[in-house]
Structure 1
Amino acid sequence: MDLPLIWAFIIAFAVFAYVVMDGFDLGIGVLFPGFAVGEERDSAMNSIAPVWDGNETWLVLGGGGLFAAFPLAYAVVLPATYPLIVAMLLGLVFRGVAFEFRWRDPAHRAFWDLAFTGGSLVAAMTQGMILGALLQGIEIDGRNYDGSWWSWLTPYTLLTGLGTVAGYALLGSTWLIWKLEGPAQDHARRMAFRAAIATLALLAAVSLYTVFLDAQYFDRWFSMPSVLFAANVPLLTAIIAFLLFRGLAKGWEAAPFWLSLALFFLGMAGLGLSMFPYIVPDEITIWDAAAPASSQAFMLVGVAITMPLIVAYTAWAYWVFRGKVGHEGYH
């Protein structure tokens, strides 16, 4: 078995699962100031209350898997993005605290709403910027990070950060279309139109920027035979975007959320095409960064047991709390 390749797919799956499941509740936080104070905000919060903290399990699995399976990449990527990672974790902490305290401290609910929005926005922005920092390249000397404290801060990383914020806002708004009813649902649909336009515009800008960011990215997208696969990504993106706008206009409820997830999946497929087989682009491949085969095999046994359990209890939680959400929090 090619253990580094297997672990690369496990980590990619964990990252995608995190983006899918934590992205929409971060998106709700980003959009939160646009909701009417009172019933509309309460309903939005109630729609994610049963699942939001469990969604972050996948972030732990992705980060822990990177540390255990690819220690060299972990040792390079973290020092290159320390400020962003610290800001992301603080944002997630503020968001989690605000989520709980806005119910327990109604006298200061406006403050907790602001903290919920700020934490969500910071977490979403920094996640996109971490991706951008990785794609634009990390300066390495031997096996060590050789850049500065601020090397991650470039126009490209700001663009990827804004693209992630817009994408999460799209996921959040389409989730609310699915889960809410009445005026709140109509408001969410209007937000989804604007978020979809912003997401597609920023996705196109990031894609073009990435292709011309490095000659190897250009070759992977436009040289044979990879171009035969790469050409399908923008084509499928255009088809899904058309269906998304049609669904929003026609009043579809669940389909816009799944179509938004499909856009993220295509974005991740494009990311994989750009980076593979590198885990740190143009510097460290997944085989260079891999832990000893005995360690990866030992950990694979644990993941083979725990990952199905995580998938099962996550699916069960979403099934139990399926259906529409009212102001009182009933499903």
Structure 2
Amino acid sequence: MTIDLPVIWYFLIGFAVAMYVVMDGFSLGVGILFPFVQGDHRRDVMMNSVAPVWDGNQTWMILGGAGLYGAFPLAYAVILPALYLPLILMLLALIFRGIAFEFRFKSNRSRKWFDFAFSGGAIVATFSQGVVLGGIINGLTVTERSFQGGGFDWFSPFALFTGLALMAGYALLGAGWLIMKTEGELQLRFYRLARPLTLLVVAAMVVISIWTPLFNGRIAERWFVFPNIIWFAPVPILVALLSWSIWNGVTHSQERLLFLKVLGLFFLGLSGLVISFFPLIIPPDVTLWEASSARASQLFLIIGYVILVPMVLAYTAYSYYVFRGKVREGEGYH
């Protein structure tokens, strides 16, 4: 039996992207929540909760991008020129956020500017990622294996909405993380933010779930034609149950479990995207087999993934274990 390498690579890259989204998502969410908290000491605690682990999260972005370049060169060659502007804005914003991590604790007179760089970088990077997602969902113009659209084809009400939706999602992730890592009055503040953020995220998921089938008959057929409607029904049902569980978890002051539930909500959202578009890798027409590189190249590259992914997972698990527990004022990265 021949192994279907394009499918394996599709899910390997999807795993790398999912790991980046959920792990750097809460880090960016902390930056999005920065304007809701005043006082240098409180902001120090927020930043210190992610300072030991944030930079390792970029590894997953690199793995995803490198995997896309090697395994699906057509997708790489189409997606980048189609989305250059939001991708460049995302990278610049991540650079400013990284600078803020390094300099904020060492600066007194310019601290407010590094606060702005940290928060603004997180907001712009998150919004740009959402716009990129919306642009891909909308579909890209491909003719004779190259992008034939314009530099602003991604600009649409749907892409802008997905940018705002992802900001709400990352903010909820950040709130869940800070509930787990802080205590006292600061923790209570994020408990109070968790419920309205949950409502925003669920509302955004509902709008996107209605918007995409209305403008894409293929997605409507995938979800709503019998027997698919029965097979895929557990996804929206689990979203509803998990959302109610997050709401209820705030009442019972759950900490770690609340954060895990928010992660689960994100994974359900990502699974919905896979269900909607598989086996397309460049909507609306290009499948992963059409975009894949030669089999020999995919076999060669997969050796690196088999070595690197367990190493990154082990390093990540160890770093989170070392820096486990609450972050308190006066402790942390300086």
Residue number in structure 1 paired with 2:200: 198
Instruction: Choose the corresponding residue for 2:91, options 81, 89, 94.
Output: 89
Partner in structure 2 of residue 124 of structure 1: 126
| Structure 1 residue 329: Cα displacement | 2.4
The 8 Å contact of residues 140 and 284 in structure 2, kept in 1 or not, is answered as no
Residue identity matched to 2:298? Q
TM-score by length of 2: 0.97
Length, aligned pairs only: 331
What do the CA deviations read for 1:31-75 (whole angstroms, capped 9, x no partner)?
Answer: 101112122111000100110000111011111110111000110
Q: 2:40 aligns with which of 38, 41, 66?
A: 38
Q: Give the distance between the partners of 2:231 and 2:197, measured in 1 at CA.
A: 28
Which residue does the alignment assign to 1:256? 258
Q: Distance in 2 between matches of 1:238 and 1:295?
A: 42
- Secondary structure in 2 aligned to 1:56? helix
Deviating above 3 A after TM superposition, structure 1's stretches of 4 or more consecutive aligned residues are none
Corresponding residue of 2:314: 312
Residue range with higher mean Cα deviation, 182-191 or 164-173: 182-191
**Residue matched to 1:50:** 52
Q: Write the deviation string for residues 213-252 of structure 1: whole angstroms up to 9, x where unpaired.
A: 2110100111133222221111000000010000011111
Question: Which aligned pairs between 1:40-79 and structure 2 lie closer than 5 A?
Answer: 40-79=42-81
Match status 1:236 vs 2:228: no
Cα distance in 2 between the residues matched to 1:309 and 1:276: 28
Of 168, 175, 178, 1:176 maps to 178
Unaligned runs of 5+ in 2: none
Match of 2:274?
272
Matches within 5 A, 1:96-245: 96-245=98-247
Q: Which amino acid aligns with 2:149?
A: G
Q: Contact 2:172–2:198 (CA<8 Å) still a contact in 1?
A: yes
CA RMSD of aligned residues (A): 1.1
How far the C-alpha of 1:99 sits from its partner, in A, is 1.6
Q: Distance in 2 between matches of 1:50 and 1:96?
A: 12
- Indicate if the aligned counterparts of 1:46 and 1:327 stay in contact, CA closer than 8 A: no
**Separation in 2, partners of 1:178, 1:64:** 33
Q: The residue matched to 2:281 in structure 1 has which SS?
A: strand
Partner of 1:13: 15
Displacement, 1:330? 4.7
TM-score (normalizing by structure 1):
0.98
Whether the aligned pair in 2 keeps the contact of 1:181 and 1:324 (CA below 8 Å) is: yes
Unpaired runs of 5+ residues, structure 1, are: none
**Alpha-carbon distance in 2 for matches of 1:156, 1:253:** 34
SS in 2 for 1:279: strand
- Counterpart-to-counterpart distance in 2, 1:322 and 1:230: 37
Q: Secondary structure at the match of 1:212?
A: helix
